[in-house]
Amino acid sequence: MDRGRDVQSPPAQGGAAFLADAMLARLARWLRTLGCDTLLEPQRPDRELVAIAACEDRVLLTRDRHLVAFLRPAKVFIPASDVPLEQLAEVVAHCALPAPTELFTRCLVCNAPLRAATAEEAAAHVPPTVQGSPDPVRRCPGCGRVYWQGSHTRRMREALWRALPEWAP
């Protein structure tokens, strides 16, 4: 079984949904940054992960070769790298994911699609220096986290462009 290759299925096209195991939690967050629907179920046993991936037509992302060999998930990808941003580049290339039109549209914690924050939510949760900014403020309907464009998102964008230079503006 080759690492870094889809073991049993053809590459998923853009819009693929993913399920990452506990070993790939950081990869899951980077995929969410790109707007990819990426579940992370670190407490679930391997059999349940495979069942969820099959039931929801998700690509299982794992580095657990034993899981792949014995449970044979229908759609699986084993990143070769240990480095999360290199893993992200592998997934993007393998699944032929298109460059997103916008980043930070999913909650990095719970995976829910973000919605625009109300003016009251923004005023209550973002620093005063951000409140007059034209950049969007978003809120997660799942866990309630609030997201805005700040130095953290600038650093994340820079890291993404280094990992995926073909997507850099």
Give which of 73, 63, 74 is closest to 26, Cα–Cα.
Answer: 63
3-state SS assignment for residue 55: helix
For all residues of the chain together, what is the average pLDDT? 90
Measured between alpha carbons, how far is 60 from 154 in angstroms, rounded to an integer?
A: 29
- What pLDDT is recorded for position 16? 87
Q: What are phi and psi of 91, to 5 degrees?
A: -65, -45
Residues 166 and 135 sit within 8 Å (Cβ to Cβ) = no
3-state SS assignment for residue 1: coil
CB count within 10 Å of CB 167 equals 16
Residues 88 and 164 sit within 8 Å (Cβ to Cβ) = yes
Give which of 98, 104, 114 is closest to 157, Cα–Cα.
Answer: 104
Q: pLDDT digits over 120-129, tens only?
A: 998 898 988 8
Q: pLDDT digits over 26-58, tens only?
A: 999 999 999 999 999 999 999 999 999 999 999
Distances (CA, A) of 128 to 84, 125, 132, 133, 158: 33, 9, 8, 10, 25
What's the average model confidence in pLDDT over 103-131? Answer: 92
Domain 18-94 maps to which CATH number in 3.30.420, 3.40.50, 3.30.70, 2.60.40?
3.40.50
Indicate the pLDDT class of residue 85, thresholds 50, 70 and 90.
Answer: very high
Q: How do the domains of the chain map onto residue ranges?
A: 18-94, 115-167
Q: Is the pTM of this model over 0.85?
A: yes
